[in-house]
Amino acid sequence: MIEHQGNKKRTGSFYTPSFVVDFMIERVFNYLTEENKLITNTYNYFQKSLGELYFCDPSLGTGNFVIGILKRVWNELKKFKDIKQDEKNTFFKNFSESNIYGIELKPDVLDECKERISFFFPMLSSNSFANMYVGNSIVNNDSFQVLPSEEAQQLNPLDWKKTFHPRNSFDVIIGNPPYYNLKKMELLDKNANLLFKYLKQSKTWKQFFRSSSDIYYYFILQSLNYLSNDGLLSFIIPNYWVENKYGDILREQIVKNQILEFLDLSNLNIFKDNGKWLNVSTCITTIQKCFPTRNVKVVKNIPKTILENHKRRKSTIDKLFFEIDQANLGKEKWVLSPHLKLLKQIEDKGKCIKLEQLAQVSQGLSPGVKEIFVMTKSNSERLSLEKEALVPFLTNKDVREWIVNNENLKIAILPSKIDDLENFPNIRQYLEQNKRKLEQGPDRQRLIKSNKIRWFDFSVYRNLKIFMNHQTKIMVPYRSIHPRFGIDENGSFGATDIYVIIPKLEEDFYFLLGILNSDLMNFWYSEAGKRKGKMLEFFSDPLKKIPIPGTEEKDILIYLVKEILHKIKNSKKQDYEVKEIKNKINQEVAKLYGVDYSLIASKLVTSSDI
């Protein structure tokens, strides 16, 4: 789906590159052919079988997928040399007008869509597409029962059953629906706010509603509802739904059907905005509306050259797939890995318990305007800020493997330590100079107006007691290419880009630090943790689920971790010695999980190369 320049990033609507469109259409047509729904060996069979197939794009944009489908059909027609061109033109025109359906939210964009199709296929006039409608694909007429009439009308509702009658299902639904988080967007956009309220209260949607879900979830559910039996759904969408905890209801509905393919494109830049590549980890998911009876084909990090030359490289694509038993997929997070057997072996042989049973996992504080509260130590001294309200502060870049970097330690004003600003004249003067910035932004304005915070407070003091009460913590940046857990022994604070782990037992600080920084955990988290593109995401929920071996034999690992910390802190020439100790830690950790370390090492190389 497309928005005009400047709005695209906010609404998650982007042009789909032609090589992606062509690839998706080719895969769908392959399935149609394999199942004899499309027969291409003679012209009569082709026109009869294709004439019985109905296609829909529920987020037309400027028509890239419709154009792609028509190009694919046109190229197939060209193969029939013995058929008169007039006859082929007539069939093509009838197919375009009768078998292609679509929905677009904005009238001007739909006009542009029709014009583009006519440009590519001059025999089709822009008035030919009576089956393309303006409306909101996920807002039904029940919106008038949920919202005041004027507000419901703003959402541009479209009832699929009435609009497309007598056509009430489709053989192929394909496209690129919009992506944006409903909870975040409803604070920024009036229509998104109305959509949020509608989805929450609608009889159609309230059973599926999750406040932090993404809008494309509803496009998937709506499309599944209007697929014919054995029909195909193919969308290019962000891949977060596979593991996001708010995607549980969506996953539960999807696995009732046959997932044919899941192609992870997180290693590729697909979309651009204003000439810049966007950091959106996407996937192409193809689903068949039928009871699941076969394995799911999965490919991770597919090379761009294969997408671009898919017709010549079909056999290469097939070699990249590995298969997952769909019976392993359900409501909980999906682990789509070729190493499921080894992952299960790690958890079973190690008699593992979850990290949350051994430790508290918490996110850092949310200053709101971090650049005002956090500064270098020299700046705080220059401003003569009162030390009673200052705390040491780490950024995610300061968290290294094993230790945190205290060399460039920053200082933060912690307003919770300030009962009366008048008692801190230098801090008061500094904050008042920045008062306008501290009162800006919809979130801070809402919190200040509701008296939940003072104008000079942090936006959220979540987990403040943890930072106040614990001098020693294990810290991890919320995103990193590989696990990077460092021990902080200076009572440092951190923002929301840092997570902290506080073991219940003192001895477990070093035990857990060794486990978390091991190659085995790098492998496990890369395959079964949370990922965004090439980065691992160390958020609260996936951290809590990390499997920790249930063992009392901790002494050797604790000794090795203390030794590596000592070497890192006290030796300038440490590379070889540290590497040697790390290797011993890796061996010991693998032993605790009951697996051969050489097996982990070889799989780790494979995982990083995928």
Q: Note the pLDDT tens digit of each residue in 55-86.
A: 999 999 999 999 999 999 999 999 999 999 99
Phi-psi region of 146 (alpha: psi -120 to 50; beta: other; left: phi over 0): alpha
Could you give the CA distance from residue 600 to residue 522 in angstroms, rounded to a whole number? 10
Is the pLDDT at 312 greater than 90? The verdict is no
307 vs 469, which has greater pLDDT? 469
For the chain, what is the mean pLDDT? 90
Domain 8-177+214-336: top CATH class: alpha beta
Is the pLDDT at 374 greater than 90? The verdict is yes
Could you give the CA distance from residue 127 to residue 247 in angstroms, rounded to a whole number? 40
What pLDDT digit, counting tens, does each position of 586-607 carry? 999 999 999 999 888 887 654 4
Q: How many CB atoms lie within 10 A of CB 151?
A: 17
- Above pLDDT 90, what percent of the chain? 77
Is the pLDDT at 10 greater than 60? The verdict is no
317 vs 323, which has greater pLDDT? 323
What mean pLDDT is predicted for residues 551-567? 94
Is residue 165 packed enough to be buried (19+ CB in 10 Å), middle (13-18) or exposed (0-12)? exposed
Pairing mode, if any, of strands 258-264 and 282-288? antiparallel
Q: What pLDDT is attached to residue 190?
A: 84
What pLDDT digit, counting tens, does each position of 256-285 carry? 999 999 999 987 878 766 666 677 889 999
Q: What is the CA radius of gyration of the chain?
A: 28
Band (147; pLDDT cuts 50, 70, 90): very high
**What does the domain layout of the chain look like in residue ranges?**
8-177+214-336
Band (7; pLDDT cuts 50, 70, 90): very low
Q: What pLDDT is attached to residue 279?
A: 73
- Find out whether 547 and 579 touch, Cβ atoms under 8 Å: no
Q: What pLDDT is attached to residue 184?
A: 80
- Of 125-129, 331-335, 370-374, minimum mean pLDDT range: 125-129
What pLDDT digit, counting tens, does each position of 424-451 carry? 999 999 999 999 999 998 889 999 999 9
What mean pLDDT is predicted for residues 213-232? 96
Q: What pLDDT is attached to residue 12?
A: 40
- Find out whether 561 and 555 touch, Cβ atoms under 8 Å: no
Is residue 532 packed enough to be buried (19+ CB in 10 Å), middle (13-18) or exposed (0-12)? middle
- Above pLDDT 70, what percent of the chain? 94
Q: What pLDDT is attached to residue 302?
A: 84
Is the pLDDT at 569 greater than 50? The verdict is yes
SS3 536: strand
> Token match 């929450």: residue?
200
With b for 16 or more beta-carbon neighbours within 10 A and e for fewer, the 489-519 pattern comes to eeebbbbbbbbbbbbeeeebbbbbbbbbbbb
Q: Which of 286, 304, 325 is nearest to 27 (CA)?
A: 286
3-state SS, one letter per residue, for 197-250:
HHHHHCCCCCCCCCCCCEHHHHHHHHHHHCEEEEEEEEEEEECHHHCCHHHHHH
Q: What pLDDT is attached to residue 315?
A: 66
Is the pLDDT at 186 greater than 50? The verdict is yes
